[in-house]
Amino acid sequence: AAVRSPATTAVPQVRFEDIGGQAAAKKELLEAIEFIANREQIARMGIRPLKGILLTGPPGTGKTLLAKAAAHHTDSVFLAAAGSEFVEMYAGVGAQRVRELFRRARELARKERKRSAIIFIDEIEVLGARRGSHSTHMEYDQTLNQLLTEMDGIAVDEEIQVLVMAATNRADMMDPALLRPGRFDRMVNVDLPDKEARLAILRLHTRQKPLGDDVDLEAIARQTFGFSGAHLESLANEAAILALREGLSEVRQRHLVEAVDKVMLGERLDRKPTE
C-alpha cells in the first residue's frame, strides 16, 4: 500500500441535502450523531458515548458522502483513511499508523478549534476481517488490536470527542470483536438507490448542467435499475461530454440515453471474472 497521510479537509462542506435518496440511512445517522451535540447531557446521565458507526452497502452508494455530511452537521473535523493503507510488510507499522490517525484527529480538531473529530475508515474489512483469517495474520491482528484499543480509549469527558465511522461492502467478513458494544455498535445500511432516489441523484448531478427541453430524468431513472450514485454521477458527466463533442451548449435526452449504455458497458468491462 502507498504511504500517504490521511486526507484532511477540516470540516467538509457536504450537507445531507447534497445526498440523493438514502432517507433511512440519513435518519439513523442523524439520531446517532445527536450525542456529539449533547455530550454534556450524555456524560451527566452516565450514558456510554457512541464511538463507532459502521456503514455497510455496495460501492458508490454514498457512504463517504454520508460520513462527510455527518462531520459537517456536527461541526467536526474529518479525517479519512482506507483499510489498505494500514497493511504493511513490517510488523507494527499498521498499528503505528492507527495510533497516528487518532493523534492527528485530535490535533487537527484542536488546531481548528473544534470540539469533535470524525475519523472515516473505508474498506475496514481489510483490517477488520475475522482475526486469523489472513495469511499474514500477525500484522493485521496488531493493527486491528490497535484500532480496538484506540476506540476503547475514547471517553465522553475528553476535550475532543472522537467518532469513528467505517465503511464496508463485506459486513459478513467483519471480526465480531469490532461489533461489540462500545465499538462499532451502530450499523447503518446504505443500499443501492430505488427509482425515486435515482431521480433525486440525477437531479443533483445535473443541477449545474444546461439541460435541453426534451430531457426526461424520470425516464432515465426508470432505465437505471441497479445503478449506484457513483454510476449516476458518471452518467450525468458522460452525457455532458457527448453533448459537448457535438458542439451543443445543452444536454439532450439522447445524450443521457447513450450515457446509460456507456456506464453499463464500462461496468461490465471493469468487472473481474470472479465477481
Could you give the angle at the alpha carbon of 73 between the alpha carbons of 67 and 77, nearest 5°? 65
Give the nearest residue (CB) to ligand ATP. 229
Q: How many residues bind ligand ATP (CB under 6 A)?
A: 19
* x/- letters, 201..220, toward ligand ATP (CB under 6 A): x--x----------------
Rank residues 95 and 124 by Cβ distance to ligand ATP and give the closer one.
Answer: 124
Binding flag, residue 233, ligand ATP (CB under 6 A)? yes
Lookup: cell for 250: 445543452
Stretch that binds ligand ATP, among 36-44, 61-69, 95-103, 236-244 (CB under 6 A): 61-69
Of 26, 39, 51, 63, the one binding ligand ATP (CB under 6 A) is 63
Task: Give every CB contact of residue 111 below 8 A, 6+ residues apart in sequence.
Answer: none
Could you give the angle at the alpha carbon of 34 between the alpha carbons of 29 and 38, nearest 5°? 165
Would you give the end-to-end CA distance of the chain in angstroms?
Answer: 23
Q: How far is the CB of 228 from ligand ATP (least distance, A)?
A: 6
265 vs 236: CA distance, rounded Å = 15
153 vs 85: CA distance, rounded Å = 22
Stretch that binds ligand ATP, among 15-23, 105-113, 172-180, 212-220 (CB under 6 A): 15-23
Cβ–Cβ under 8 Å, residues 127 and 146: no
Bridge partners of 80, per DSSP, are 7, 120
Binding flag, residue 146, ligand ATP (CB under 6 A)? no
Give residues 182-201 in contact with ligand ATP (rule: CB under 6 A). 201
* Residues binding ligand ATP (CB under 6 A): 19-22, 59-65, 122, 167, 169, 201, 204, 229-230, 233
